[in-house]
Structure 1
Amino acid sequence: MDSTDLLNALQKEARKISNEDICLARAAVVESVQDLPGKYRKAYSSDYFTYLYEAFQELRTCKTADKAEPVDDEGHRDLLARISQQKGGNNPRQRAFLRFVAVVIPYLAFVAKRTIHPPGMIFPGGLMITSQGDEYYCPVKNKQSGVELALCDFCKCRDSEELEGKV
């Protein structure tokens, strides 16, 4: 499959996501961060969801991929498998969120080739995703690599420790 084929498939799935689904997905995010300190709660419930929603809107209106490039089919299947392994159960908000990210995250990773979290996103400890030129650096990339359910392996970010060698 190439990026144009994937874009078309993702757009078809995106058309099945209703405004109610998006509201439920947003509620799931808010619910999942309620025990975090205030500044992290805002970063995850508002900033992160806004980033995902804007990517969703872009996906829905995108005419074609910038350039048809091969998509790592095994990587795409692995990404979807990781998303489907997240806790959803009988919670309609969580199920809506998982359906939402199963469309948005592959779009970001394989079609738009952007970061999974927004640049400037703050992580515990005050560290954040930064950029230098066209490269993005994440303070938790290597720490999450290999974690069974983490999606960091699919993100275009490099680990922030790589910046130390460039300075």
Structure 2
Amino acid sequence: MTRSRLELDPSEAEDEIRRVASDLMKSETRSHLARLIADEICRYTSHDLMQIAAGLRHELQNLPPLYRKAYQQSAHEQIFGTHHRILLMKREGRIDTLPGEIPDPALFTTFCRMVEEACLVPDRSGDVHMTPMGRLLYYLLSCFLIFVMQESAHPIGTPFPGGMKVELKGGVVCCPVREKEEDVPYALCRFCPAEQS
């Protein structure tokens, strides 16, 4: 039986996170990076994914009901939809046919360093999806979206407070909080190809 990635002790989790970040940085092509991400996410068990889903539901519990429902759908798509998409692409052999190199290698290296740092910040929430290995899964999925598929980190339609949301305008993904990266530690904004709306 595969061991839960979420239950690694702190020392094991730190070693794994450092290894994964180092492996990511060695990737030069989109197909190599996608293959690496697919292999890593396959190491998470079904139980890990159920725990992450439960933790996410718990975290969103205190949001206003209408906003919570819309945001929960987007968060579910961002995490579990992307996870499924990667596994499907791997199964169908489409990962191996992704053309081209990783866009902006310097930005990608900065992303990999940020992932390592962000995942190793002590967890104060107590929620399983915010453990170091839970955060690693989130960043791996985001890495796939941003650097492999060259898509926005948040799905189109993701709502933000104040009635704003991620939108597609004239073929360009526009995000209302794209320029707020300095306000949120370890935000994906500076890496995301979306433009400020």
Deviating beyond 4 angstroms after TM superposition, the runs of 4 or more aligned structure 1 residues are none
Q: Name the aligned partner's letter for residue 155 of structure 1.
A: C
Equivalent position to 1:14, from 36, 41, 66: 41
Give the conservation status (yes or no) of the 8 Å contact 1:24–1:97: no
Give 1:25 deviation, angstroms. 1.0
Q: Name the aligned partner's letter for residue 140 of structure 1.
A: V
Query: What SS is found at the alignment partner of 2:160?
Result: coil
Q: Name the aligned partner's letter for residue 44 of structure 2.
A: I
Paired with 2:85 and 2:155, the residues of 1 have a C-alpha distance of 15
Paired with 2:73 and 2:49, the residues of 1 have a C-alpha distance of 13
Paired with 1:152 and 1:126, the residues of 2 have a C-alpha distance of 19
2:52 corresponds in structure 1 to 25
1:3 corresponds in structure 2 to 30
2:128 corresponds in structure 1 to 92
Query: Is 2:77 the counterpart of 1:77?
Result: no
Q: Name the aligned partner's letter for residue 100 of structure 2.
A: A
TM-score (norm 1): 0.83
Paired with 2:158 and 2:81, the residues of 1 have a C-alpha distance of 15
1:57 corresponds in structure 2 to 84
Query: What SS is found at the alignment partner of 1:136?
Result: strand
Query: Where does the alignment leave 5 or more consecutive residues of structure 2 unmatched?
Result: 1-27
Q: Deviations over 1:128-157 (max 9, x none)?
A: 111123211111111234643211112111
1:163 corresponds in structure 2 to none
Report % sequence identity.
22
Query: What SS is found at the alignment partner of 2:98?
Result: coil
Q: After alignment, is 140-149 or 125-134 more displaced?
A: 140-149
Query: Where does the alignment leave 5 or more consecutive residues of structure 1 unmatched?
Result: 161-167
Q: How large is the Cα RMSD of the aligned pairs?
A: 2.2
1:68 corresponds in structure 2 to 100
Give the conservation status (yes or no) of the 8 Å contact 2:82–2:141: yes
Paired with 1:126 and 1:15, the residues of 2 have a C-alpha distance of 36
Q: After alignment, is 48-57 or 9-18 more displaced?
A: 48-57
Give the conservation status (yes or no) of the 8 Å contact 1:25–1:93: yes
Paired with 2:82 and 2:153, the residues of 1 have a C-alpha distance of 10
Query: What SS is found at the alignment partner of 1:44?
Result: helix
